Structure 1
């Protein structure tokens, strides 16, 4: 018997409508007995079939109309696409060697991870989720693809928990509604609006300075790129490992220098440290024309999950996006000084905290109202250019999925050795705290930069003072 209401079609809600429409991908790395590969594949396939049956949202399809409005269709006949990716030349990676290398980020950069999302050239339908398996000698790499249009880091955790529990035949509650249960405007199609509606939208964007209007309809939530002849620099990614002991020392130092009763969180401390030193490296190494001329203010773009900050109880059954940017703006000279002086570094932390603390129900409602007024969601952009060297986008997935337990035939462990983000190519000016298990004595910060900026960062002795080791 099918789950109730599994066959329905609906417009995406406001926040999902105005979220990026590509895929996010993570790879869970497990050891595996090579003799049990067929058993592992069969069990994963069966688990996905059962998950699609019980949670039709995970098997839904997304598509857009000619006005850029995104819809979701659920059907009892849809499945979660699954395939086994086999080596083209017949060679396989050795899992133990990959583990000894600590799963370097370059191993998870491949065009197949950058599958096309919804856009002008691809209006769908596309699956909400898809899964594939790649085998290494002695290992299994489980790749999870989720459509960003209705998935953020918290929703990624929900999906991993649901699938992991399914492999163990353990029942679980999973949020199953992509609509927020709050009194909010509905995003209308452009056909239902007059062109004068754009005036109201632009006024509301003006009250949300981290957003911008994209005249070329390249959104939603894509950067506003400056029209300058900039060379695209060669990029690279590395993982910087910080031990709990060193982060505690950093937190204590900041508290002491600020003469404060407040001990900053590890996130706040690490974000501030990264903001200062990565900005310095980029400004020094990404000079025009390989980067835009730096502006007078440095900006740290924090991704803030507002589930516990607004609309109490409204996200209990919500599967979708609930993240907004909160921007810390500081004079570039002040950020540079923080790279050389502990007190200057400490003084940045309250500024970062204050910029995040403004995210409350009023903040969220203002942005929801702005998005709901967009004549076309593809007009909604973010007001930064990743080629600007004074910008850093910082996010955390630390608590998203590493503690999920699995039962896969041939896999001798319940939890993956690691979870890696996988993409079609390296980013520029991004830093992401990767998932780690609860109680872990380390944090892994995945940084993507131009090759020259990464070299400058790795040669920065005051940055390296806090880093335990570098992967990649």
Structure 2
């Protein structure tokens, strides 16, 4: 029987042990009346998060790295346990001067520039978040605020070893509800323990070979690989060196109606009943045009790049499998899904899907391959991946991803479009219930090359696609007339024109 008056110290579940050991973070951008005292804002947020952590103590937990085994442990206080300084989520004020000399001091300037991604991405060091290589402990969740002239930034950070983007979204919605006085937010308490039934259908002595065959997106690093390589790309062929040129990011703003129209054309050409989702259509187009741009620029990699191109996507399996069993589970449930096509399918065929004359052949072919990959996400899919992660934890082995950002045909893409979409805030001095924008600080951009759909309001007419590429590849992408026909406008890294 659990004693709910003493601290809990337990080994993290295997889905959490095998997640990237870093924070996933977002920044919510609000207008703010500077006549209102800042202290009232911080006190209001502190009261909200303090109420929430009593209902959901996991958000106030601390992650401990046991260096000898490489395993992670979770330390937290149950609801009735005496609070200590280390068991409370504290709202931290982070002055704008800490964000760099180039960061706008006035909110209107940030708005005029359309909240460029370069002001937000890779700010972990400037935000003082640290990493396990320096200190073997990390807070599970952190909340920081930055005040600008007539603006207010809310930085939210969830350690990926505790939860995924869906967990971060749930926390956002719940804290927002607490700011409005909703006492039912994120209640009853959830558990960080993953359901035991996930692997009930898998033989306990299943071999690594069988697991790897069933889980093509996962692979095994050599023995004695350091655990800071968890979820990193596995080397394939002769791994090429990183790109010599620096990377840059840009947001491509695309009309939702344009993607819907292409989806309807795909449905008609394919003679099927259901139209592919906006995300599936966007994934197919993004994969194609980024691959072409990278091949034009990164010619040095052409000989080392496999003849098969790989698209890595992320899906939250709790929406598709073990819904009842996983309902109380607070933790990672993001599974990698991959699809592969011959690289010549992406490189050898041209034609824009929205031009008269019909769809080029690659559009329905690539779209169908993505849809088939998602259809395979079911209970057996989750069970075998859980078994592989369990085995890795038992034997102290490190799992990696089989997609590699070094190869021009490989792309990892994710969607945070619905992150905190249901959140309605009530913050002193902030006259709106929703942020003007949500920007990503760190997410799934695959070590410098990747694509991520950014959060948007429910009725948004546009999709914002964050793309990170080598500078030369980005220039090629922006010079591609077929791709830019889709794009309404581009928000460059620091708002350049």
Same fold (TM over 0.5): yes
Equivalent position to 2:342, from 331, 335, 348? 331
Give the CA deviation at 1:131. Answer: 1.0
The match for 2:113 is: 101
State how 1:251-290 maps to structure 2 within 5 Å: 251-288=263-300
Q: Report if aligned partners of 1:108, 1:420 keep a CA contact under 8 Å in 2.
A: yes
Equivalent position to 2:234, from 224, 243, 247? 224
Counterparts in 2 of 1:425 and 1:451: CA distance versus 1, 3 Å: farther
Counterparts in 2 of 1:339 and 1:62: CA distance versus 1, 3 Å: farther
Matching of residue 59 in structure 1 with residue 60 in structure 2:
yes
Counterparts in 2 of 1:470 and 1:333: CA distance versus 1, 3 Å: same
The match for 2:364 is: 346
The match for 2:92 is: 83
Give the CA deviation at 1:122. Answer: 3.4
Q: Report if aligned partners of 1:15, 1:371 keep a CA contact under 8 Å in 2.
A: yes
Equivalent position to 1:301, from 312, 331, 343? 312
What SS class does the counterpart of residue 369 from structure 2 fall into? helix
Matching of residue 370 in structure 1 with residue 378 in structure 2:
no
Q: Report if aligned partners of 2:18, 2:399 keep a CA contact under 8 Å in 1.
A: yes
Q: Report if aligned partners of 1:340, 1:462 keep a CA contact under 8 Å in 2.
A: yes
The match for 1:138 is: 150
Deviations 1:248-295 (A, max 9, x none): 222122223324333111111111111111111112112226x88322
- Unaligned 5+ segments in structure 2 are 78-82, 353-358, 493-497
Matching of residue 454 in structure 1 with residue 474 in structure 2:
yes
Q: Report if aligned partners of 1:64, 1:118 keep a CA contact under 8 Å in 2.
A: yes
Aligned counterparts of 2:199 and 2:367: Cα–Cα separation in 1 = 36
What SS class does the counterpart of residue 143 from structure 2 fall into? strand
What SS class does the counterpart of residue 353 from structure 1 fall into? helix
The 10-residue stretch of structure 1 (205-214 or 430-439) with the greater mean CA deviation from structure 2: 205-214
Give the CA deviation at 1:177. Answer: 0.8
What SS class does the counterpart of residue 112 from structure 1 fall into? coil
Aligned counterparts of 1:73 and 1:411: Cα–Cα separation in 2 = 35
Q: Report if aligned partners of 2:12, 2:72 keep a CA contact under 8 Å in 1.
A: yes
The match for 1:192 is: none
Q: Report if aligned partners of 2:24, 2:443 keep a CA contact under 8 Å in 1.
A: no
Aligned counterparts of 2:167 and 2:444: Cα–Cα separation in 1 = 23
Aligned counterparts of 1:114 and 1:106: Cα–Cα separation in 2 = 18
Equivalent position to 2:186, from 167, 173, 186? 173
Equivalent position to 1:392, from 394, 411, 430? 411
Give the CA deviation at 1:68. Answer: 1.1
What SS class does the counterpart of residue 221 from structure 1 fall into? coil
Deviations 1:385-409 (A, max 9, x none): 2111111101111111133011111
Give the CA deviation at 1:19. Answer: 1.1
The match for 2:80 is: none
Equivalent position to 2:454, from 434, 455, 470? 434
Q: How many residues get paired?
A: 457
Deviations 1:203-250 (A, max 9, x none): 523432211112223432121246544444311111111112212222
What SS class does the counterpart of residue 459 from structure 2 fall into? coil
Deviations 1:45-83 (A, max 9, x none): 222233223321100011121201111011232011431
Give the CA deviation at 1:441. Answer: 1.4
Q: Report if aligned partners of 2:280, 2:371 keep a CA contact under 8 Å in 1.
A: yes
Give the CA deviation at 1:464. Answer: 1.0
Aligned counterparts of 1:355 and 1:10: Cα–Cα separation in 2 = 35
Give the CA deviation at 1:425. Answer: 12
State how 1:14-53 maps to structure 2 within 5 Å: 14-36=14-36, 37-53=38-54
- Unaligned 5+ segments in structure 1 are 187-196
Q: Report if aligned partners of 2:280, 2:370 keep a CA contact under 8 Å in 1.
A: yes
Deviations 1:13-36 (A, max 9, x none): 121121111001100000001122
What SS class does the counterpart of residue 298 from structure 1 fall into? strand
What SS class does the counterpart of residue 35 from structure 2 fall into? helix
What SS class does the counterpart of residue 178 from structure 1 fall into? coil
Q: Report if aligned partners of 1:202, 1:213 keep a CA contact under 8 Å in 2.
A: no
Q: Report if aligned partners of 1:94, 1:138 keep a CA contact under 8 Å in 2.
A: yes
The match for 2:495 is: none
State how 1:389-428 maps to structure 2 within 5 Å: 389-423=408-442, 427-428=447-448
